[in-house]
Structure 1
Amino acid sequence: MTQLSEEEVTQQLTSLPEWKRKDSKWIERRFRFKEYLDGIDFVNKIAAIAEKENHHPFINIQYKMVIVSLTSWSENGLSELDFKLARQMEDLFDSESL
């Protein structure tokens, strides 16, 4: 795993329009839910994905909103693994129509 270049990060973000650059080392997405427990259920599911990938996001729960931030500490920035995990979260969110 290696740190992605600025060009690679920009390219990856084009396929993840809801994810935003937080700064040079982070990407972030806000997931909104109809009910509080829907967000909690989502957090539990993304935690299972993160464990499987051995790549753990920062997760902030604010009532009906879940904020997820990703970076690769070992690379001191963003790597392909951050975008892989982001895509898995998008797929989960889309499949559950939460």
Structure 2
Amino acid sequence: MAKLPDERIQELLGDRPGWTRKDAKWLVKKYRFPQFMKGIEFVQQTAMTAEALNHHPMIAIEYKVVTISVTSWSEGGITPLDFELIDRCDRLYNAMCGGGDSSS
């Protein structure tokens, strides 16, 4: 899957609240949860989703905040697969937490 041009990345990010671009090759978002174990459940389900896509994010857990960072190592940057994974993360969060603002 080919790396996306900068203009397309910015365009796609405009439709994805809370997601930011870091160091030109990462998409990053912090999800806030009402309880620690909800965040852990989100991480488990995100891991299963990533495994099914064979596309694995960096995941950091800080009490009730989970940070997801995504890039396509094989392409040296951001690809459509990264956007597929972040969309699935957002849908998972919305299903678990009622669609409220996930960003901290």
Runs of 4+ aligned structure 1 residues displaced above 3 Å come to none
What is the distance in 1 between the residues matched to 2:93 and 2:12? 19
> 1:47-73 CA deviation, whole Å, 9 max, x = no partner?
000000000000000000000000000
Question: What TM-score do you get using the length of structure 1 for normalisation?
Answer: 0.97
Tell me the TM-score normalised to structure 2 length. Answer: 0.92
* Structure 1 gap ranges (5+): none
Displacement of 1:97 in angstroms is 1.4
The equivalent of 1:55 in structure 2 is: 55
Q: Residues of 1 paired with 2:68 and 2:96: CA distance? A: 17
CA distance in 1 between partners of 2:75 and 2:8 (Å): 14
CA distance in structure 1 between the aligned counterparts of 2:70 and 2:2, rounded to whole angstroms: 15
Q: What CA distance in whole angstroms lies between the structure 1 residues aligned with 2:23 and 2:8?
A: 15
Identical columns (%): 42
Aligned equivalent of 2:93: 93
Total equivalences in the alignment: 98
State the match for 1:32 in structure 2.
32
- In structure 2, the residue matched to 1:10 is 10
Q: What value does the CA root-mean-square deviation take over the aligned residues?
A: 0.8
